[in-house]
């Protein structure tokens, strides 16, 4: 999924079709103006079905183009609506109406409606994109507030605004209405219309169809840190609170601290990348951590599966706790945390997060724990991680050759396992690499790394790309990275503990002379 998109999800609330009552079409509105959207008798009644995908598919430019088309009285495709009692459900056109509402209320994902919708939790990426969108709208079209103010002195307004002001008085979006009173028919119409116009991504369609499954609910609770539309609001209040709390904790484990710029100039990166529009990865993570035999989201096939409905939220909580427990092994300050550094394990040389690498590492570490081999891993951890750093291209080559997701997972696990076995057996890095060269399944790993960060053409480039800058920083910073003073592995910001070299009860001092930085596991378990 693209990360350079505007989050308009808060502008039109969601509602369950199940609340539907007798449809009333007698006085259906044919044209929707800014007065209708801003006023108290139409805009507040707009709803998206709860199975509508997130309104996060439009780029900044597309939002601006829609607003410009509206004020210039250009053609805008009709929206399709369905009335059910007091609610007006948007069957098709949620992005169009949301873009206009964003303009009217000056909320491109970072103002009042969005703050309320996301419980005040808005990522840096979302805020940045919202500001860029607002600035672009104000430059190309002008704010809605500017137009409202100009109405008091039309003659004093710029010439282009004067023309647009006259347009705004009569401009409208055509509304078509689904002529049915049946909930199921209306839902079928939604999928038929949306699939025919802009096809819904297979992953999105799976999650939308399975919106009441614990898999989907857990994934959504994590993606927005327990905020946004509450797909879990049918559960009792205690369960709801627990879902939101654990979802928020998992989000923090995955995405804090946030990446603030395109070029990464810090090793304090989040475990799972930028986190914006990460629902497919999180859905896969939920299924992986619960060892569910479900096709991952990298497949492009239209998968039809019957995921179970969670009637009371207990299964959702079970799934969330399984994810939390798995992540506790990877990051954080829990005693079981190995505190693996994401730059070493999950990021390419140029700073791209690899979801497959995180899941493969998680599987690898869990397998070590089950077989009682974590101590062996810790004993050679420094050398293991240095091998991964020195042969960074192997992760990308493996995923490129076998494919992302489940297709390359077993190969990555095998790769990690062979590196570990080699080190435990006393082999050096060159011997381990030569063993891969001699193996017909892994000979492709001998392909040399390109001189630039991603192997892209540099013919017309006169400055370093963000990828090259990031790769350069990582290679330099890792040379002097903070390391656990027990195992020698690189230590991440989220997993730093301070260990007494000599225990206090054994006479150890409580000053710097007796303190050392360590991973939680090394401190609580390995050392003992």
| % of the chain residues with pLDDT over 70 | 91
> Given this model, what pLDDT does residue 454 score?
47
Average pLDDT of span 279-295: 92
401 lies in some domain: no
Number of neighbouring beta carbons within 10 Å of residue 75: 7
> Given this model, what pLDDT does residue 461 score?
61
β 173-177/31-32 pair status: antiparallel
Tokens of 369: 């724990």
Those residues with Cβ within 8 angstroms of residue 282's Cβ, 6 or more apart along the chain or in another chain: 219, 222, 223, 254
191 lies in some domain: yes
User: Does the structure show a pLDDT above 70 at 11?
Assistant: yes
* Cβ–Cβ under 8 Å, residues 31 and 175: yes
260 lies in some domain: no
pTM recorded for the entire structure: 0.81
Measured CA to CA, the distance from residue 125 to residue 434 in angstroms comes to: 43
User: Collapsing DSSP states into helix, strand and coil, what is residue 334?
Assistant: coil
424 lies in some domain: no
Tokens of 170: 């009569």
Beta strand extents in 173-321 (DSSP E only): 173-177
Range of the domain at 106: 14-200
* φ, ψ for residue 15, nearest 5 deg: -150, 150
Measured CA to CA, the distance from residue 293 to residue 316 in angstroms comes to: 17
227 lies in some domain: no
5 lies in some domain: no
> Given this model, what pLDDT does residue 183 score?
73
User: Does the structure show a pLDDT above 50 at 295?
Assistant: yes
* φ, ψ for residue 104, nearest 5 deg: -60, -45
Domain count within the chain? 1
Tokens of 299: 């497949």
161 lies in some domain: yes
User: Does the structure show a pLDDT above 90 at 337?
Assistant: yes
User: Does the structure show a pLDDT above 70 at 198?
Assistant: no
Averaged confidence pLDDT in the chain: 89
β 87-92/497-500 pair status: unpaired
Angle between helices 60-71 and 94-105 (to 10 degrees): 80
Q: Give the H/E segment covering residue 497.
A: strand 497-500
User: Collapsing DSSP states into helix, strand and coil, what is residue 251?
Assistant: helix
User: Collapsing DSSP states into helix, strand and coil, what is residue 174?
Assistant: strand
Q: How many CA atoms lie within 13 A of 518 on its CB side?
A: 22
pLDDT in tens, 397-435: 999 899 888 899 999 999 999 999 999 999 999 999 999
pLDDT in tens, 456-487: 445 556 788 999 999 999 999 999 999 999 99
Those residues with Cβ within 8 angstroms of residue 475's Cβ, 6 or more apart along the chain or in another chain: 349
Q: How many CA atoms lie within 13 A of 89 on its CB side?
A: 28
Cβ burial of 459 (10 Å; 0-12, 13-18, 19+) is: exposed
141 lies in some domain: yes
Cβ burial of 30 (10 Å; 0-12, 13-18, 19+) is: exposed
Measured CA to CA, the distance from residue 30 to residue 416 in angstroms comes to: 62
């Amino acid at each position: 999924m693209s990360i350079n998109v505007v989050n308009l999800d808060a502008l039109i609330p969601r509602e369950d079709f199940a609340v539907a009552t007798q449809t009333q079409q007698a006085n259906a509105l044919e044209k929707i103006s800014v007065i209708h959207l801003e006023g108290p008798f139409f805009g507040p009644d707009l709803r998206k079905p709860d199975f509508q995908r997130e309104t996060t598919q439009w780029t900044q430019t597309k939002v601006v183009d829609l607003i410009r088309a509206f004020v210039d009285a250009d053609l805008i495709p009709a929206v399709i609506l369905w009335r059910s009692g007091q609610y007006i459900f948007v069957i098709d056109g949620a992005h169009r109406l949301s873009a206009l509402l964003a303009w009217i209320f000056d909320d491109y994902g970072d103002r009042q409606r969005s703050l309320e919708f996301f419980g005040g939790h808005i990522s840096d990426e979302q805020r940045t994109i919202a500001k860029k969108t607002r600035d672009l709208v104000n430059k190309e079209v002008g704010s809605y507030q500017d137009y409202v103010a100009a109405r008091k002195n039309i003659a004093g307004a710029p010439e282009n605004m004067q023309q647009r002001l006259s347009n705004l008085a009569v401009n409208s979006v055509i509304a078509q209405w689904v002529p049915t009173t049946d909930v199921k028919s209306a839902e079928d119409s939604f999928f038929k219309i949306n699939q025919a116009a802009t096809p819904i991504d297979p992953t999105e369609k799976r999650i939308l169809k399975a919106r009441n499954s614990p898999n989907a609910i857990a994934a959504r609770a994590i993606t927005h840190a327990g905020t946004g539309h509450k797909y879990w609001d049918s559960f009792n209040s205690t369960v709801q609170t627990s879902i939101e709390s654990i979802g928020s904790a998992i989000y923090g484990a995955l995405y804090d601290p946030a990446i603030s710029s395109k070029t990464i100039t810090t090793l304090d990166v989040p475990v799972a990348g930028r986190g914006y529009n990460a629902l497919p990865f999180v859905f896969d993570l939920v299924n992986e951590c619960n060892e569910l035999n479900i096709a991952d989201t990298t497949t492009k096939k239209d998968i039809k599966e019957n995921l179970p409905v969670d009637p009371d939220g207990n299964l959702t909580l079970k799934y969330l706790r399984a994810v939390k427990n798995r992540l506790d092994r990877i990051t954080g300050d829990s005693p079981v945390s190995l505190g693996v550094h994401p730059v070493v394990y999950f990021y390419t040389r140029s700073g791209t997060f690899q979801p497959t690498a995180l899941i493969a590492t998680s599987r690898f570490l869990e397998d070590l724990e089950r077989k009682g081999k974590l101590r062996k891993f810790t004993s050679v951890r420094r050398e293991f991680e240095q091998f991964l750093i020195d042969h960074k291209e192997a992760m990308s080559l493996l995923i490129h050759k076998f494919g992302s997701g489940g297709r390359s997972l077993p190969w990555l696990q095998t790769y990690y396992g062979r590196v570990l076995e080699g080190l435990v057996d006393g082999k050096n890095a060159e011997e381990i690499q030569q063993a891969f060269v001699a193996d017909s399944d892994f000979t492709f790993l001998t392909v040399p790394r390109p001189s630039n960060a991603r192997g892209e053409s540099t013919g017309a480039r006169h400055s370093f790309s963000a990828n090259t800058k990031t790769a350069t920083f990582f290679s330099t910073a890792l040379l002097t990275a903070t390391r656990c003073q027990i195992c020698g592995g690189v230590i991440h910001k989220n997993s730093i503990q301070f260990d007494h070299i000599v225990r206090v009860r054994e006479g150890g001092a409580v000053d710097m002379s007796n303190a050392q930085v360590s991973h939680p596991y090394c401190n609580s378990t390995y050392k003992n």
